[in-house]
Amino acid sequence: MDSMSHAAQTKSHVVETTDRSLGQRLILDLRYFCDDGTPASACRTPVTHLPEALKRLLVDYNIGGVILFSENIVSAQQLLTLNYTMQAAMAEAHKPPLFIAVDQEGGRVARLPSHMLTPFAGNLAIGASYHEHGTAFAKNVAQGIGGVLRPLGINTNFAPSIDINSEPKNPVINVRSFGEKPERVAELGESFVAALQAEGVMSAVKHFPGHGDTHVDSHSGLPRVNHSETKAREGDLLPFQHIISSATPPAFVMSAHIQYPALDATTLPNKHGQSQIVPATLSRKILHDILRNQMGYKGLVITDALDMAGIASFFTKEDAVVRAFQAGADIALMPYTIRTPSDIQAFSDFFDKLQTQLKKGTIKRQEHLMSLQRVSNAKSSFSLRNFHEKGLSWWREEVAENPWNTKNKAVEKALADAAITLLYGAEALPLRTTTWLAMMPDTARCRAFSHSVAVLAPDISLACIPLTTKPSKQVLTRLLPHAETIIVGDISPQHAVYELAGLESPENIQNRMDEGTRHDFLIQLMQSSKQQNKQIVFVPMRMPYVANTFMPYSDIGIATFSYSVTLNQEEESPVSSAITDALVEVLLGKSQAHSYAPLSWRFNQH
C-alpha cells in the first residue's frame, strides 16, 4: 500500500469516528414530511418516496437507520423503491448502509398491510399452540415474516416481544407475549429469533428487562415493576438470558421505558426538577452491568422509541440520548421528530449538541467507538450492502413473485386452528341451532365472522351487530327474538382506533362505547337472553381473563388469542379472518378446540 492511499484511509477512518459518526447511532422516524409550509404538528403527508430534503438529511448526518410505519407503505413495489432509494443515496455518498426497520411482530403489531404480509395470529396464539406443536409456529411465522421483509429492503424487525405475561391488566403487552411461563417464552423466543435471522432479517428482542408486569403503557406514562431481584432473574430476565446465550443470539436487545427498582433504584433529576427512579433505558446498572457484563450480551443495545411518554415526559431530547448512551445503549431510536424543513434545521442544532457532549467526554469516546464497531459488525454480518449492490430490477422480480404468500396463508390458517382454546362448555358443542345472532367488537370483526359463516355454514341464518356503538332498541327488538344462539365476541383490553381497519365512520368512532359500558350492556343482554333459554357463546378474542365475568351468563367459552383480520383488495369479500374461520369450524364441530391455555385465566388460579 503506498503512503498516499494509507493516508487517505487514515483520514477516512478519522472522519468516520469523529465527524458526525454519532449519526450511525441514531434511527429516525420518517413517517410524515411536509415541505409546503404546513406546521409540523399538522403534517400528515406520508413519506412514500424519498424527498430530496430527507435524502440530504440521511447522507449529511451519516444516519444509521430509519424506522418505517404503516403510513410509509402503499404497495410492495412502492416500498421496495423507497428502501432502495434510501440505500442508494447512502452508497453513492460512500456512507454505511442503513438499518431499515419495522415493528412486524405479527398479531396486533403489524406495519405491513395484510395484502402484502399476513398478520398471523400473534405471539399468545403461538403460545397456545405450544402444547401440541412445540416451537413449530414460532419458527414458521418468523420465517414467513423474514421471507417477505428481506426482499422489500427491510433488514431489521423489532420483534419478538419476550415479555412475560404476568399482569392481567397490562394494557400494552398482553397478546404480544408468548405466555406466562418464562421457560416457554424463552424457548419460543429463541426459535423465532433463529428463524427470522436465518432469513437475513435482524431481530430485536424486547423489552429489556421485562415489561410484562405493568399497569401502565410506556407510550403514555412511566410504568414501574415491583418484583424482587430474585423474581426478576427467575422470571423477566430469564428469556433474555436464554436467547442471548443460544447459538443464535439476537442482533439487538431493545430496552424498556420502565422503572425496575430491584435492579436499579438510583434516582436522577428529570426536566421538571424532580427526583425519580431511573428508567431502564437510562440505567447503566441495567444496560451495562446486567445486560453486558452479567449476561454477556455482545450485540446491539437499542432504546425503545425516545419520543414515548415514558421518556419524553421527563427528559429533554438531548438529555435522553446522552443518558441512554451513558447507560450503555448503542443506538437511540426515534430521538428527534422530523416533519418539516425547519425540523431538519432544529435537528442540526440538536446533533451539534450531541457532538459537543462527545467532545467534552460526557459521552465517553472509548464507549462511543465500541458502539460504532458493534454497529459496523452488525451491518457487515447481515450483508446490508448486498441489497443495493444486487440492483433494483433484481429485487423487483423477486418481490413480484412473492413465493411466501401461499405458504404464509397456510401457516396463518394452521396457527389459528391450533390456537383456538375451549375454556368451558364442551358438553354444549357442537352447536345444533341454525339461527345465530353475533355481536362482535366492531364492523371489521362482524364482516369477518359473517364471511366465515357464509363460506363454512351457508345454511346458517346469521345477523351480526357491531358493538362499536351501543345498538339501538329497534335493532335488538328486530333481531333478538329470532336468534336461537347468541355469539358474543369481546376484545379486552379494548383495541385501539387504528385497529378498526378503517371501516368505522367518524361519528361511530367519536361515540364509541368504552369497555365498561360495553360490558354492562352485554351482561344485561346475556342475562335476559338466558332467561329466554337462548344458547350463548362467549368469545374473548384478546385476553381470556374477561371470561371470569361472563362465564355465569354463557354456556360456552372459547378463546382465540387473536382478532386479526385481512383486508382483501381483489376478492369478493373485503374482510376475512383465519381466526373467525377457526372459530366457526369449532362451533360447527368441524374441528376440535384444545383445552390448554398459555396463561392462567381463572382468577382463582393466580
Helix (H), strand (E), coil (C) string for 10-65: HHHHHHHHHCCHHHHHEEEECCECCCCCCCHHHCCCECCCCCHHHHHHHHHCCCCE
Catalytic residue among 217, 236, 304, 442: 304
Q: What number is the average pLDDT over the span 530-542? A: 96
**DSSP element (H, E) containing 302:** strand 300-302
* 519 pLDDT more than 80: yes
* 165 pLDDT more than 70: yes
Enter the pTM of the model: 0.94
SS3 132: helix
Percentage of the chain beyond pLDDT 90 is 89
Contact in structure between 452 and 583 (CB atoms under 8 Å): yes
Query: What rounded mean pLDDT belongs to the chain?
Result: 93
Instruction: List the beta bridge partners of residue 259.
Output: 224, 279
Supply the DSSP string of 491-553, one letter for each residue.
-SSPPPGGGGTT-S-HHHHHTPPPHHHHHHHHHHHHHHHHHTT-EEEEEESS-GGGHHHHGGG
At 47, list the grid cell.
413519506
Instruction: Say how far apart CA 156 and CA 197 lie, in whole Å.
Output: 9
* 14 pLDDT more than 50: no
Range name among 69-78, 152-161, 223-232 with the lowest pLDDT average:
223-232
Instruction: Say how far apart CA 54 and CA 404 lie, in whole Å.
Output: 32
Q: What number is the average pLDDT over the span 184-197? A: 98
Contact in structure between 523 and 549 (CB atoms under 8 Å): yes
Q: What number is the average pLDDT over the span 2-13? A: 37
**Integer CA distances (angstroms), 454 to 433, 458, 461, 573, in order:** 15, 5, 9, 10
Q: What number is the average pLDDT over the span 428-455? A: 97
Instruction: Say how far apart CA 209 and CA 507 lie, in whole Å.
Output: 41
pLDDT at 344: 98
Range name among 114-118, 220-224, 309-313 with the lowest pLDDT average:
220-224
Angle at Cα 595 formed by Cα 593 and Cα 598, nearest 5°? 110
Maximum Cα interatomic distance, the chain, rounded to a whole number of Å? 94
Convert the pLDDT of each residue in 243-285 to its tens digit: 999 999 999 999 999 999 999 999 999 999 999 999 999 999 9
Percentage of the chain beyond pLDDT 70 is 96
Contact in structure between 379 and 24 (CB atoms under 8 Å): no
304 in active site: yes
* 458 pLDDT more than 80: yes
pLDDT at 228: 94
Instruction: List the beta bridge partners of residue 276.
Output: 268
pLDDT band for position 10 (cuts 50, 70, 90):
very low
pLDDT band for position 215 (cuts 50, 70, 90):
low
**Better-scored residue on pLDDT, 14 or 589:** 589
pLDDT at 5: 37
Q: Where in the chain is the domain with CATH 3.20.20.300?
A: 3-401
Q: Is the dihedral of CA 304, 308, 311, 312 positive or negative?
A: positive
pLDDT at 1: 39
Q: Where in the chain is the domain with CATH 3.40.50.1700?
A: 420-605
pLDDT at 184: 97
Instruction: Say how far apart CA 601 and CA 606 lie, in whole Å.
Output: 8
Q: What number is the average pLDDT over the span 163-179? A: 87
Residues with Cβ < 8 Å from 345, sequence gap 6 or more? none
What proportions of the chain, in percent to the nearest 5, are helix, strand and coil? Answer: 50, 15, 40
The position carrying cell 426478576 is: 232
pLDDT at 220: 73
Contact in structure between 486 and 535 (CB atoms under 8 Å): yes
Contact in structure between 225 and 236 (CB atoms under 8 Å): yes
SS3 469: coil
* 569 pLDDT more than 80: no
Range name among 3-12, 42-51, 559-568 with the lowest pLDDT average:
3-12
- At position 389, the amino acid (one-letter code) is E
- At position 122, the amino acid (one-letter code) is G
The position carrying cell 357464509 is: 454
Q: Which CATH number fits domain 420-605: 3.40.50.720, 1.10.10.60, 3.40.50.1700, 3.30.1180.10?
A: 3.40.50.1700
Convert the pLDDT of each residue in 590-604 to its tens digit: 999 999 999 999 876
CATH class of the domain whose range is 3-401: alpha beta
Q: What number is the average pLDDT over the span 180-195? A: 97
